[in-house]
Amino acid sequence: MWQYTNSSIILVIAAFLSVWSPVSSFTTCRSTTVAISSSPLPSSSILFSSESNAIISDAKLQIEESIANTDRGRSISTQQRVEVHQLLSKLESLCPLSEPTRDPRMEGSWIVEYTDAPPPSNGQLLFKGIAKQVIDLENKTYRNELYVGGSGIDQDENAWLSAILDARWEEWDGKYLDESGSVSDETDVGRTTWKVDFESLTLSLFQRALFTQQFKAGTSRTWRMSYLDDDTRIVRAGKTGRGEDDWIFYMRRGA
């Protein structure tokens, strides 16, 4: 059984504060990440024919097989990452929705199965765990959750270490978050993209909250929903909304 001393707890907290900062999370060197251009969503919905369903199912199967031994993207070679991103782009091109952000299936919990993002967004906080997102459409809120040492189907029960980031969302208006301009080739960017505003971060040990940190007003990011169906979702999370600073998240619906 693990033994936790006061000094080890302090190290956990210090590491958490150093890696969770929104600035550091999105400026970490992506030396092992291959830039893959964002795939546009279809202009109109694809009919859910048996043929299109089969194509989508096959595309998802290929992704699952390609990420099976990558530890959710935390242990992967450059060549493997290229292959994974090509498969993700293929699935994005098959998205059956033209307005995924407005689809009720966004609601609920989602488990990160793969990402090229750095800690803690990849589910690692000194120790490896799982990253989860819970969306509340009615109240326009969401939670990014990280669990280490948890149990249950989603490994999020009775975790000895957890971090919860509470945020609010709204449909993005297309203005870049670095105030350097705006999207010029599309007026209704809100159909695919949210602007999310971070509110607070709570760190807990053995289900007991240690502290809560409030974010500065205006700490925002963009979340582009590039694929959504009943049980699968792909999100491209960006610092500015431009695309070149996106991290990609492949998620399955939580239990």
Mean pLDDT within 52-62 = 96
Would you state the pLDDT for residue 48?
A: 56
Would you state the pLDDT for residue 32?
A: 38
Would you state the pLDDT for residue 207?
A: 94
Would you state the pLDDT for residue 49?
A: 73
The half-sphere exposure of 208 on its side-chain side, counting CA atoms within 13 A, is: 3
pLDDT at 168 over 50: yes
Convert the pLDDT of each residue in 26-36 to its tens digit: 333 343 334 44
Would you state the pLDDT for residue 11?
A: 45
3-state secondary structure the chain: CCCCCHHHHHHHHHHHHHHHCHHHHHHCCCCCCCCCCCCCCCCCCCCCCHHHHHHHHHHHHHHHHHHCCCCCCCCCCHHHHHHHHHHHHHHHHCCCCCCHHHCHHHCEEEEEEEECCCCCCCCEECEECEEEEEEECCCCEEEEEEEECCECCCCCECCCEEEEEEEEEEECCCECCCCCCECCCCCCHHHCEEEEEEEEEEEEECCEEEEEEECCCCCEEEEEEEEECCCEEEEEEECCCCCCCCEEEEEEECC
Would you state the pLDDT for residue 186?
A: 67
pLDDT at 74 over 90: yes
pLDDT at 145 over 60: yes
Would you state the pLDDT for residue 152?
A: 96
Would you state the pLDDT for residue 19?
A: 41
Would you state the pLDDT for residue 5?
A: 40
Convert the pLDDT of each residue in 93-139 to its tens digit: 999 999 999 999 999 999 999 999 998 888 997 899 999 999 999 99
- Mean of per-residue pLDDT scores for the chain: 85
Q: What is the pTM of this model?
A: 0.83
pLDDT at 71 over 50: yes
pLDDT at 44 over 80: no
Would you state the pLDDT for residue 18?
A: 39
Convert the pLDDT of each residue in 181-239 to its tens digit: 999 776 799 999 999 999 999 999 999 999 999 999 999 999 999 999 999 999 999 99
